[in-house]
């Protein structure tokens, strides 16, 4: 039996992916920011949107260089990290605060930052899982169809699909029946366009990272005989 290949940078990319995923969901995710853009005017968005799309860029890089199977392991690692972070936040908030003005005020601040409702937590986890696998699947299939050409088309095309799944599921699960339907659709569309736009802007960086990793790892994986089931973690 052939031993699985080891890679110099795969673990680092996985760690970076999970770090970005956790930070974008925990830091700034609940903050609604407003910017004024040319032609669009004032646009309201979650501050976490500035960084969450980086996880999709990592997903593209992992699939392009290491293949769908190894990206699948990273997605599951990110999902487990999100689940643990959500559980830890719930435990920390559920514990009674110690007496004193500072501790009582600190409890309120923690609830403001980490006290997401169960629907938001569930929406975030389900949307990430489904969107990430959709992104990786499209990326892998397009690479085979295009015989490795037009990386920019594959990264953008896979993100168009993945982010559509992510944004659609998240806002439907988290806010349907709470916000007016028109508002849910409007904000979901705005977030989707912002996330996809990030992919377009970051394309030159993606090219450089992919080229570096392919040279350093001597790997350029094609998913020609891959089992695309998302429900296991073997390569």
Give the integer Cα–Cα distance in Å for 33 and 39. Answer: 18
197's CB contacts (< 8 A; 6+ apart) are none
pLDDT tens digits, residue range 165-193? 998 998 888 888 877 888 888 888 888 98
Q: Is residue 17 included in any domain, yes or no?
A: yes
Statement: residue 153 has pLDDT above 90: yes
pTM: 0.89
pLDDT tens digits, residue range 25-79? 887 666 667 778 777 677 777 777 788 889 999 999 999 999 999 999 999 999 9
CATH number of domain containing 119: 1.10.1760
**Number of structural domains found in the chain:** 1
196's CB contacts (< 8 A; 6+ apart) are 53, 156, 159, 160, 163
Contact 46, 92 (CB under 8 A): no
Q: Is residue 231 included in any domain, yes or no?
A: no
On average, the pLDDT of the chain sits at 89
Q: Is residue 33 included in any domain, yes or no?
A: yes
Q: Is residue 124 included in any domain, yes or no?
A: yes
Q: Is residue 229 included in any domain, yes or no?
A: no
Domain that holds residue 133: 10-217
């Amino acid at each position: 039996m052939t031993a699985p290949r080891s890679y110099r940078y795969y673990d680092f990319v996985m760690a970076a992916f999970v770090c970005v995923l956790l930070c974008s969901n925990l830091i700034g995710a609940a903050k609604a920011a407003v910017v004024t853009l040319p032609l669009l005017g004032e646009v309201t968005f979650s501050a976490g949107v500035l960084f969450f799309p980086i996880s999709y860029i990592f997903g593209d890089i992992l699939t392009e260089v290491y293949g769908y199977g190894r990206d699948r392991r990273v997605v599951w690692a990110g999902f487990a990290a999100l689940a643990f972070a959500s559980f830890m936040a719930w435990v920390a908030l559920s514990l009674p605060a110690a007496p004193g003005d500072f501790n009582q005020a600190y409890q309120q601040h923690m609830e403001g930052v980490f006290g997401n409702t169960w629907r938001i937590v569930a929406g975030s986890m389900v949307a990430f899982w489904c969107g990430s696998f959709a992104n990786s699947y499209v990326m892998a299939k397009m690479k085979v169809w295009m015989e490795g050409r037009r990386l920019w088309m594959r990264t953008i095309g896979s993100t168009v699909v993945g982010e559509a799944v992510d944004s659609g599921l998240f806002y439907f699960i988290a806010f349907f029946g709470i916000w007016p339907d028109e508002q849910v659709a409007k904000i979901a569309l705005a977030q989707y366009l912002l996330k996809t736009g990030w992919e377009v802007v970051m394309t030159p960086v993606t090219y450089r990272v992919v080229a570096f990793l392919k040279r350093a790892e001597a790997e350029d994986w094609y998913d020609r005989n891959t089992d695309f089931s998302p429900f296991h973690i073997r390569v």
